[in-house]
Amino acid sequence: MEKVKADNDECICITLSSGVSGAYQSACLAKSKIHVVDSLTGAYGVKLLVLEAQRMIKEGKTTEEIVESLEDLKKRTTILLSVDTLEYLYKGGRLDKTSAIIGGIAKIKPIITVTREGKIGVITKAIGINHAMNTIADLVEQIQPDTNYPVYSIYTLGTKNVEKLENKLTENGHII
């Protein structure tokens, strides 16, 4: 950002959600000719916004047009996820120990989203990984994703579950 200022240039800075990170506030303090976009989402939501910005730059769009488009796109971006274990929700302070233990025994899989305010929220809960994947696929159907943009699937450990989810989404006509 200092180089942008020194070169009297313009820049678009897309940050992780202000609801879970201080990056947005820090970028706002540093801005001059820097246009700061609070993604209100997580990593892959940011990726989508960055790819859209790159496409628009190649098309010769103005900075203002790009920022306006990103502000619109972020309102239509949805993150849905589930976790194999409640351990990290407990360690991160989002779940108390008793709930984590009972939920683990009952094989409860929360279906999590990043809210429109950029915070982590639980949409519903499923029992077992297969039910969680079916629930996510049903939610994607309800959302009706914009076909101009990809549906991303990501995973942290092993590909078995994400491959099942991708197959289910592909069967429903969503391109991964």
The whole-model pTM stands at 0.81
Secondary structure of residue 124 in the 3-state scheme: strand
> 2-75 — its CATH code?
3.40.50.10170
- Residues 6 or more apart in contact with residue 79 via CB below 8 angstroms: 41, 42, 44, 45, 113, 114
How many residues belong to the chain? Answer: 176
**What is the mean predicted confidence (pLDDT) over 133-147?**
92
- Tens digits of per-residue pLDDT, 68-96? 999 999 999 999 999 888 998 889 888 89
Cα–Cα distances in Å, from 126 out to 99, 135, 141, 170? Answer: 15, 7, 17, 21
Which is more confidently placed, 159 or 58? Answer: 58
| Straight-line distance from the first to the last Cα atom of the chain, in angstroms, rounded to the nearest whole number | 34
Element (H, E) at 112: strand 108-114
Q: Can you give the residue ranges of every domain in the chain?
A: 2-75, 80-171
In this prediction, residue 123 carries a pLDDT of: 95
Does domain 80-171 bear CATH number 3.40.50.300? no
In this prediction, residue 98 carries a pLDDT of: 92
